[in-house]
């Protein structure tokens, strides 16, 4: 097993307390600590300045930049990082989670969990961290703590150990709740702890995850953190949004063995701002290639093999495949034959991608067929809540559903119910 960030880790993916305590930096009163200048930071913010920012270097245990980083404000689904950390340290991946009525009825959930259905902790964790499922957060909290209230007490104890003393968790999903808040500084510490856990680090860097679904078929979760596509060196972590918190983001990138963490709270240009701040972080504290990476996952190992220093490469699967099968720095011993084989591999890959998209369309068509109205109620979609609350959502196969799509689906369901009642 690969160890965590600073050589810690255990058989159940638990980072030692001494390691997590070592992550706690001392207080700082200045808005900017030497590393990223205030002038560069303001330019990175763009037209829509964020409400709070923290740029953290776990290797040196210091902040490269702090902008209102100690202001206690809502952080939306970034609170799920706290939930994930407590769950990963108290439950095994293969433990069985039963979906309760409360979890199945969670508000604003991107996934439709069936009450009474059984999943593994690992599967539900993927749903929470990748799809930001609120129902998953409740199910996990109930599984570990016995109840949501009891779980929040465990979470607060863990936060105290991390030194995240300005964070108070009330709802494990991060939905707006009275008395719930955190800071950019605290979220940076939590993100570092998440990334030091191999199990969680693997999940937050995963793009796609397929699992069996109770209807006998399969569902595929897609990671809604867009930063993973914008920065080829990205290794996580979590995004969020509520009407009160606005857009929130915790991201991390590893370059030449060094990992930096950027927290941006309540920003209109959340991903662009985070990317510019991340680039500044590596200018201020670049990796040397000799450090032990904060995150050691399969995805990171592949990224390090393909990364060309000094060049931002778009995260395009076909380009990545071509770069790994035919490196430009070496001559192909097989000459034209090898080039032809590489081309065939790339074409086969793209053809498989096309087939997968076709299968997804078929699954979606099948889910709204007129054959069996009961089947549609069990599909992992969020039509009902999204329509009632006016949200734009994505299904587990990556298709974005607009308000019109949701309205059409709701009307179609209503029509089928009326027909079946005659």
The number of beta carbons lying within 10 Å of the beta carbon of residue 68 is 17
pLDDT value of position 76: 97
- Asked whether the beta carbons of 1 and 31 are under 8 A apart, the reply is no
- To the question of pTM greater than 0.85 for the whole model, the response is no
13-17, 80-84, 95-99: least confidently modelled range = 13-17
CA–CA dist 238, 246 (Å, integer): 14
What is the chain's mean pLDDT, rounded? 74
Mean pLDDT of 101-113: 95
Confidence of residue 11 (pLDDT cuts 50, 70, 90): very low
Residue 28, C-beta contacts closer than 8 angstroms, at least 6 positions apart:
63, 66
3-state helix, strand, coil in the chain (%, to 5): 45, 15, 40
pLDDT value of position 46: 85
Mean pLDDT of 49-62: 94
Q: Mind giving me the DSSP string for 306-343?
A: HPPTT-PPP--HHHHHHHHHS-TTS--TTTHHHHHHHH
Q: Is the pLDDT of residue 370 over 60?
A: no
Q: Is the pLDDT of residue 233 over 70?
A: yes
CA–CA dist 344, 386 (Å, integer): 43
Confidence of residue 54 (pLDDT cuts 50, 70, 90): very high
Nearest to 245 by CA among 174, 170, 165, 164: 174
Residue 292, C-beta contacts closer than 8 angstroms, at least 6 positions apart:
5, 6, 7, 257
412 or 266, which is more confident?
266
Summarised one tens digit per residue, pLDDT across range 236-270 is 999 999 999 999 999 999 999 999 999 999 998 99
Q: Is the pLDDT of residue 31 over 60?
A: no
CA–CA dist 213, 217 (Å, integer): 5
% the chain with pLDDT above 70: 61
Q: Which tokens hold the place of 343?
A: 């081309």
In Å, how far are 71, 151, 374 from 182, measured between CA atoms?
8, 17, 41
Mean pLDDT of 53-71: 95
Confidence of residue 369 (pLDDT cuts 50, 70, 90): very low
Place of tokens 């979470």: 155
375 or 286, which is more confident?
286
pLDDT value of position 397: 36
């Amino acid at each position: 097993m690969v160890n965590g960030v600073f050589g810690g880790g255990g058989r159940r993916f638990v980072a030692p307390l001494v390691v997590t305590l070592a992550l706690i930096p001392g207080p700082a009163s200045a808005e900017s600590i030497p590393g990223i200048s205030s002038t560069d930071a303001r330019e990175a913010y763009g037209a829509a300045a964020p409400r709070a920012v923290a740029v953290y270097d776990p290797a040196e245990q210091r902040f490269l930049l702090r902008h209102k980083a100690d202001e206690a404000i809502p952080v939306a689904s970034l609170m799920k990082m706290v939930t994930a950390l407590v769950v990963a340290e108290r439950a095994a991946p293969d433990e069985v989670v039963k979906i309760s009525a409360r979890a199945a009825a969670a508000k604003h959930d991107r996934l439709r969990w069936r009450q009474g259905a059984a999943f593994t902790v690992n599967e539900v964790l993927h749903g929470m961290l990748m799809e930001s499922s609120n129902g998953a957060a409740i199910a996990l909290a109930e599984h570990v703590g016995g109840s949501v209230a009891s779980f929040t007490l465990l979470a607060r104890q863990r936060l105290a150990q991390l030194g995240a003393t300005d964070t108070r968790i009330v709802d494990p999903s991060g939905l707006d709740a009275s008395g719930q808040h955190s800071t950019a500084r605290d979220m940076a510490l939590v993100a570092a702890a998440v990334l030091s856990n191999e199990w969680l680090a693997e999940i937050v860097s995963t793009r796609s995850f397929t699992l069996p679904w109770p209807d006998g078929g399969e569902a595929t979760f897609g990671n809604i953190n867009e930063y993973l596509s914008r920065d080829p060196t990205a290794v996580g972590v979590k995004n969020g949004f509520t009407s009160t918190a606005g857009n929130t983001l915790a991201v991390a990138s590893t370059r030449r063995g060094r990992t930096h963490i950027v927290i941006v709270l309540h920003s209109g240009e959340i991903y662009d701002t985070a990317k510019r701040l991340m680039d500044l972080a590596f200018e201020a504290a670049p990796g040397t290639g000799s450090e032990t990476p904060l995150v050691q996952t399969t995805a990171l190992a592949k990224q390090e093999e393909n990364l060309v220093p000094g060049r931002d490469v778009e995260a395009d699967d076909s380009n990545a495949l071509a770069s790994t099968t035919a490196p430009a720095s070496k001559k192909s011993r097989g000459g034209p034959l090898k080039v032809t084989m590489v081309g065939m591999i790339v074409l086969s890959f793209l053809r498989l991608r096309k087939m997968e998209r076709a299968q997804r369309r078929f699954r979606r068509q099948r889910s709204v067929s007129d054959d069996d109205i009961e089947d549609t109620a069990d599909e992992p979609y969020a039509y009902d809540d999204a329509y009632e609350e006016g949200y734009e959502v994505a299904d587990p196969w990556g298709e974005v559903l607009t308000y019109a799509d949701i309205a059409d689906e709701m009307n179609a369901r209503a029509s089928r119910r009326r027909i079946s009642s005659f």
